[in-house]
Chains A and B, each alone.
Chain A
Amino acid sequence: MKVKSSKWISENRLNKLRHLGTTLRYSLYVITHPMDGFWDLTHEKRGSVGAANVIIVAALLTNILRLQFSSFLFVNVIWEFVNLIEIILGFLAPIIIGCIANWGLTTLFDGKGTMKDIYMAIGYSLTPYVLLQLPMIFISNVITVEEGAFYGFLYYFSYIWCGALIISAVMMIHDYTLSKALVTLFATIVGMMVIIFMLLLFFTLISDAIAYFVSLYKEISFRFY
Chain B
Amino acid sequence: MRGKKFIPIIFFFVALILFPSATVKAERSVYTYTYDYWEVERESPDAYSVQETVTGSKLGIGDFNNPQGLYVRDNRIYVCDTGNHRIVVLERDGNNNIEVIDQIYEFSGDVELNTFSQPHDIFVTETGELYIADTNNQRVLHLSSDYKLIKVITRPTDETVDKAADFLPTKLVADKAGRCFVLARNFNKGYLQYDRDGLFIGYMGASEVRFNLTDYIWKLLSTQKQKSQMAQFVPTEYNNVAMDKDGFLYATNAIFEEYQLRNDEAKPIRKLNSMGTDILVKNGYLPPIGDQWWDTAGGVSGSSRLIDITVLDNDIYYAIDRTRGRIFGYDDQGNLLYAFGSLGNKLGYQQFPTALEHMGTDLLVLDSRNLGITFYTLTEYGKLINDAIKAYSLGQYDLSADYWREVLRLNGNYDMAYIGIGRSLLRQERYKEAMEYFEFALDRMNYSKAFQLYRKEWIEENIAWIFTSFFLIITVPIVIGKIKKIRREVGVE
Contacts and interface: CB of A to CB of B under 8 A. Distances in A.
Contact of B455 (A72, A76, A142, A145): A142
Contacts of A73: 444, 447-448
Contact of B439 (A72, A142, A146): A72
A76 B452 CA distance: 19
A177 interface: no
A144 B38 contact: no
Interface string B409-440: 00000000000000000000000000000010
Contacts, number: 21
A73 B455 CA distance: 15
B228 to A, nearest CB: 46
B38 A145 contact: no
A145 B442 contact: no
Interface residues of A, number: 8
Given A142-B455, A144-B451, A76 B445 contact: no
Contacts of A145: 444-445, 447-448
B448 A72 contact: no
Interface in A27-56: none
A145 B438 CA distance: 13
A220 interface: no
A3 interface: no
Which of B439, B442, B447, B448: most chain A CB closer than 10 A? B448
A63 B292 CA distance: 31
Interface in A88-143: 142
B447 to A, nearest CB: 7
B203 to A, nearest CB: 42
A146 B442 contact: no
A142 B466 CA distance: 15
Interface string B447-458: 111011001000
Contacts of A144: 448-449, 451-452, 455
B38 A72 contact: no
Interface string A46-85: 0000000000000000000000000011001010000000
A164 B439 CA distance: 37
A72 B451 CA distance: 12
Nearest to B38: A78
A187 to B, nearest CB: 34
A142 B451 CA distance: 9
Contacts of B445: 145
Contacts of B38: 78
A146 to B, nearest CB: 6
Interface string B33-52: 00000100000000000000
Contacts of B448: 73, 144-146
Contacts of A76: 442
A138 to B, nearest CB: 14
Interface in A144-161: 144-146
A140 to B, nearest CB: 11
B215 to A, nearest CB: 35
A142 B458 CA distance: 11
B14 to A, nearest CB: 42
Interface string B7-38: 00000000000000000000000000000001
A125 B448 CA distance: 35
B94 to A, nearest CB: 49
Contacts of B455: 142, 144
B56 to A, nearest CB: 50
Contacts of B439: 72
A146 B444 CA distance: 10
A183 to B, nearest CB: 34
Contacts of B452: 144, 146
A76 B442 CA distance: 9
A17 to B, nearest CB: 26
A145 B449 CA distance: 9
A56 to B, nearest CB: 32
A159 B492 CA distance: 51
A195 B445 CA distance: 44
A144 B445 CA distance: 9
Nearest to B458: A142
A93 B106 CA distance: 80
Interface in B279-316: none
A73 B443 CA distance: 9
Interface in B443-477: 444-445, 447-449, 451-452, 455
Nearest to A144: B448
Nearest to B447: A73
Contacts of A72: 439, 442, 444, 447
Contacts of A78: 38
Which of A73, A76, A78: most chain B CB closer than 10 A? A73
A149 to B, nearest CB: 13
A150 to B, nearest CB: 14
A144 B451 CA distance: 7
A72 B442 CA distance: 7
A146 B449 CA distance: 9
Contacts of B449: 144
Contacts of A146: 448, 452
The 3 closest A-B pairs by CB, nearest first: A144-B448, A145-B448, A144-B452
11 contacts: A72-B439, A72-B442, A72-B447, A73-B444, A73-B448, A76-B442, A144-B451, A145-B444, A145-B445, A145-B448, A146-B448
Interface of B: 38, 439, 442, 444-445, 447-449, 451-452, 455
Given A145-B447, A145-B448, 10 more contacts: A72-B439, A72-B447, A73-B444, A73-B447, A73-B448, A76-B442, A78-B38, A144-B448, A144-B452, A146-B452
